[in-house]
Amino acid sequence: MADVLPYKPRTGEIPTDPGVYRFRDANGRVLYVGKAKNLRQRLSNYFAPLRTLHERTRRMVTTAASVEWTVVPTDVDSLQLEYMWIKEYDPPFNVRYRDDKSYPFMAVTLADEAPRVIVTRNRKIPGARYFGPYPKVWAVHETIDLMIRAFPIRTCSDASYKRAMQTGRPCFPGQIGKCGGPCSMTVSIEEHRAMVDDFIAFMAGGDERFTRELTKRMLAASAAMDYEAAAKYRDKLAAIEAVLGKSALVLPADEDADLFGIAEDELAAAVQHFVIRGGRVRGVRALTIEKEIDITGAELVDQVLQQAYGDAQDVPRRILVPTLPDDATELEQWLRERRGKKVEIAVAHRGQRADLMRTATLNAQQALIRHKTRRTSDYVARTQALTDLQEALGMEEAPLRIECFDISHLGGTNVVASMVVFEDGLPRKDQYRSFNIAETTDDTDSMYQVLRRRLAHLDRPEEEQEVLDPTTDEVVGEDLGEATARRKPRFAYPPQLLLVDGGKPQVEAAARALHDAGHTEIAVCGIAKRLEEVWLPGDDFPVILPRTSEALYLLQRLRDEAHRFAITHQRKRRKKDIGSVLAEVPGLGASRIKVLLKHFGSVTALRAADPSQIQEVQGIGPVLAQTIHSHLSTR
């Protein structure tokens, strides 16, 4: 592969002004759109030596055949132009947004002569004002039923409204007192429009004003002995309080904000968008984002805000994000033009805002996990994943049994390995196994040792097969019959694919173990976590699976499960090691062992300490410190 792209422009040709750039392929299709405060500085990053680029970025620039740019007067103009071009060209290498579902909204049709409130999933009604989204349709209907008691605006269909206005007979909701529109003959078009304005103002966060006003009117009517009017105001207050009771006060009552919780990995991100008006959560929206090239957390926030407010009518005065975008000032100006007032983008550091951000982030993390596991829980998706793996790795048959290995240690001590097993794309937890590694030089040596020990079981006759406990490195049961009765798993069944957590060095170590064990018929590959690259033995470049590949999701899940299992066993072993060694020291009880562990972190670190350092721990005197040091020195 050439290290210099043939279409690379000369450095002097690229301006240093702000602007927007586009990468195109040989057919002229726009592959990627980006903006920059300094075009020359930004584009030079893409034309660095290919070996230094992030793998997915390298795939984009090698797929492209040309690059072009447009200079604009200001950074805000570049942000606007970038947004327009992304909407127009839908570039495959820009982040992709997908709603987890089609959410219901409450909409007020302001373009109508007599606006009405409706439940809809259509976000393109001309002139409509939207509120939400809501998690369920019934939640929108319930809110509307409560709201029209306080603000009796029109709810009937356009056909019913026209028929009622022509015949002079109110629509059915008007006849039963659930519609206060002009067709009910109780209000004029102008009065109805005023009620609609109040409805919108309340939904936009004007809780306190309406509560105070209605309370004032109710007391005045009661003082004037107009009890019928006072009862109407009382009912309206009850309706408003019922609506407010549906959403808890999470921020100060005068707070209008949107909060974005984001969880991401190398290929995808999940976003939880909390809509807060009057200090209350009035809507929640979930987004799933697929990332094709490498972007930072700040760049991701930038893209999320552009997506959220590009066509938005309701921009709040404050937007809370987990990381401040690099062009936060330009984004604030861009949003101010949409809102007509000042907009602040801020990070929630402390207090109620930080608590709510943690809640949103937790929801985003759970949504990301669901997104990653949704495909592997589906039979068709699992079948596609195994087929994709077979083609990508050049295997003769689909890998129905895959074993994944991971190494875990704490500063080079307590080295353990894990083996997890997936059959037909699903985990076989009864066949998981952990390995203890007594002596090793590095991770590649550990991987080699573990695979040789595992592969040794393939060469034993079936009647001599040892039955192993899946969580230890020992034989289970006194004899084979007892073990078989307990239905413990055998490890004579060979995998079609061995997956290791790591890049090229770990894969080469695994291939060497397979060769030395005489099992070269088993395929092997590794997945490097940082770039999600799939490495094969002997190859200079990794296999890059598409971001939407079912195979990549399966490999990620295998790798993550092996890592989790290895960490769990490593912690258990460290705890057991600490307890067994320190418990033998005279005068050292459980509480002091806990304090020592918290201070030094491990027995190895404690063993390396001298008596004066041990004596620094609270509750450890000079005599006990010397006893601990002497005991550990002889072990």
394 and 493 within one domain = yes
**CATH of residue 271:** 3.30.420.10
Q: Does 303 lie in the same domain as 268?
A: yes
What pLDDT is recorded for position 124? 75
- % of the chain beyond a pLDDT of 70: 77
Higher pLDDT, 187 or 34: 34
Token duo for residue 581: 């060694």
* Per-residue confidence (pLDDT) for residue 469, from 0 to 100: 46
Categorize the per-residue pLDDT at 248 as very low, low, confident or very high, splitting at 50, 70 and 90. Answer: low
pLDDT digits (tens, 9 = 90+) for 472-505: 444 433 333 443 344 444 566 788 999 988 888 8
Q: Which of 67, 69, 66 has its CA nearest to residue 17? A: 69
Name the more confident of 1 and 172: 172
How many beta carbons lie within 10 A of that of residue 364, not counting itself?
Answer: 24
In the prediction, which pLDDT does 138 show?
A: 67
Per-residue confidence band for 404, with pLDDT thresholds at 50, 70 and 90: very high
Residue ending a domain, among 28, 61, 94, is 94
- The answer as to whether 3 is a domain residue is no
Stated as kind and residue range, the H or E segment containing 251 is none
Assess if residue 225 is contained within a domain.
no
Mean pLDDT of 570-583: 60
Residue 477: its pLDDT value, please?
36
Look at residue 430 and give its three-state secondary structure: helix
99 assigned to some structural domain: no
pLDDT of residue 463: 47
What's the domain count of the chain?
Answer: 5
Residues 567 and 420 grouped into a single domain: yes
pLDDT higher for 123 or 113?
113
Last residue in a domain, options 530, 545, 572: 572
595: exposed, middle or buried (C-beta count within 10 Å: 0-12, 13-18, 19+)? middle
Q: Indicate whether 378 belongs to any domain.
A: no
Q: Note the pLDDT tens digit of each residue in 180-222.
A: 667 766 778 888 888 888 787 777 665 556 666 767 778 887 7
The answer for 587, left when phi > 0, alpha when psi is -120 to 50, beta otherwise, is left
Residues 517 and 402 in one domain: yes
What's the pLDDT tens digit per position in 540-569? 888 888 766 778 888 888 888 888 887 777
Q: Which two tokens stand for residue 91?
A: 């570039």
Residues 501 and 598 in one domain: no
More confident residue, 61 or 59: 61
The phi and psi torsions of 156 (rounded to 5 degrees) equal -75, 165
pLDDT of residue 624: 84
Choosing from 94, 125, 140, the residue where a domain stops is: 94
Residue 23 is predicted with a pLDDT of: 93
- The pLDDT of 116-122, averaged and rounded, is 83
Same domain? For 502 and 629 the reply is no
**Three-class SS of residue 220?**
helix
Which CATH number covers residue 609?
A: 1.10.150.20
Residue 220 belongs to some domain of the structure: no
For residue 232, the model assigns a pLDDT of 72
Assess whether 410 and 327 both reside in one domain.
no
The reply to whether 114 and 179 lie within a common domain is yes
425 shares its domain with 553: yes
pTM over 0.85? The answer is no
Burial of 85 from C-beta contacts in 10 A (0-12 / 13-18 / 19+):
buried
**Of the ranges 89-93, 305-309, 369-373, which one carries the lowest mean pLDDT score?**
369-373
**pLDDT at 471 exceeding the cut of 50:** no
Asked, for residue 382, whether it belongs to a domain, the answer is no
Specify if 491 maps to a domain. yes
CA-wise closest residue to 59 among 477, 532, 593: 532
Assess whether 25 and 139 both reside in one domain: no
- Structure confidence at residue 474 (pLDDT): 44
Residues 139 and 53 in one domain: no
Q: What is the pLDDT of residue 98?
A: 57
Q: Which neighbouring-strand residues pair with 68? A: 22
Question: Based on the domain organization, do 114 and 40 belong to the same domain?
Answer: no
- Residue 403 covered by a domain: yes
CATH number at residue 70: 3.40.1440.10
Q: What pLDDT is stored for residue 189 in this prediction?
A: 81
Range of the domain at 608: 583-633
Q: Looking at residues 408-424, what average pLDDT do you find?
A: 77
